[in-house]
Amino acid sequence: MSMVSLDLSPLIRPKYTIPTTVKVLDLGGNAVSEVSLPPQFLEPIRPDLILRAYISALTAKLQPKGTDPMAGKRTTAVSFGIGLGLARVPRVKGSLWPTARFAPNVVKGRRAHPPKVEKVLHERINKRERRKAIRSAIAATAIKDLITARGHIVEKVPQIPLIVSDDFERIGVMADLKKALMSLGLWDDIERVAERIRVRSGKGKMRGRRYKEGKSLLIVVSTVDAPVIKVARNLPGVDAVPVRNLSVLYLAPGGVPGRLTVWTLSAIEELRRGLFMG
């Protein structure tokens, strides 16, 4: 019996469609030109790979810790054996009421399972996997469905992906930045995060982690010297980062792709030079 092969490629549609050409907006939200998106925006969305790269980047910041291997073991205590009506734990010799030592459940005893320095905390990832995950996270910033699924407010945003002129990088005053964000329809999302800042439960309040704050806008600029970086860090949930320092930690907080992102025109041109490719 012969099998007939059918070509189903015309019937298979991609789950997400990304435009190849988008408008460049000025600080007032008006279109001034058009630009074609670099190939990083055309990468297939891989949530599994993005989560793996996120865990790798997150665990890379953990510092190994452990206890002294001999802690609780520096004693000459020995067990007295059976038949004395006493528990068979090691006890200090030469005392009328011998106190227990060495055992995990006694005072001044060792810990049963102490933290060990040799424990592997960092989940490593291949270089090409990490680059592919970054490209996939970049492509997710151009899909409106993923952005709204993260909880961002984008009703007033003129277009996704949002690309602005280089004047945005030169903003050095908070009043000018707020005016530009309101013109681009991004201020509502910042207010969403500001209203949900809350005090952390537990002892973390005493350890420099008193407040829990969500993630809002990501601003991607072309250079580390852009004045808007210092201004934007005063806004709740807003991150401003040079395009060469992009990572999954910025593009997909919590390992969830689709962060609301503003790209400057120069940052797009930097991507076009082959960043995160290969």
Domain ranges in the chain are 14-60+125-197+212-272, 81-121
Residue 12 vs residue 216, higher pLDDT: 216
Check if the beta carbon of residue 159 is closer than 8 Å to that of residue 271.
no
Q: What is the pLDDT of residues 25-84, one digit of tens each?
A: 999 999 999 999 999 999 999 999 999 999 999 999 999 999 999 999 999 999 999 998
CB 267 within 8 A of CB 167: no
- Residue 203: phi, psi to the nearest 5? -80, -10
Pairing between β-strand 31-36 and β-strand 162-164 as defined by DSSP bridges? unpaired
Pick from 49, 52, 213: nearest CA to 139? 49
Tell me 78's DSSP state: B
The CA distance from 260 to 58, in Å, is 21
The confidence score (pLDDT) of residue 15 equals 75
Contacts of 247 (CB under 8 A, 6+ apart): 57, 134
Q: Which CATH class is domain 14-60+125-197+212-272?
A: alpha beta
Instruction: Please tell me whether the peptide bond between 161 and the residue prior to it is cis, using omega within 30 degrees of 0.
Output: yes
Q: Note the pTM of the prediction, 2 decimals.
A: 0.86
pLDDT score for 197? 96
User: Which amino acid, 148?
Assistant: T
Q: What is the pLDDT of residues 115-138, one digit of tens each?
A: 999 999 999 999 999 999 999 999
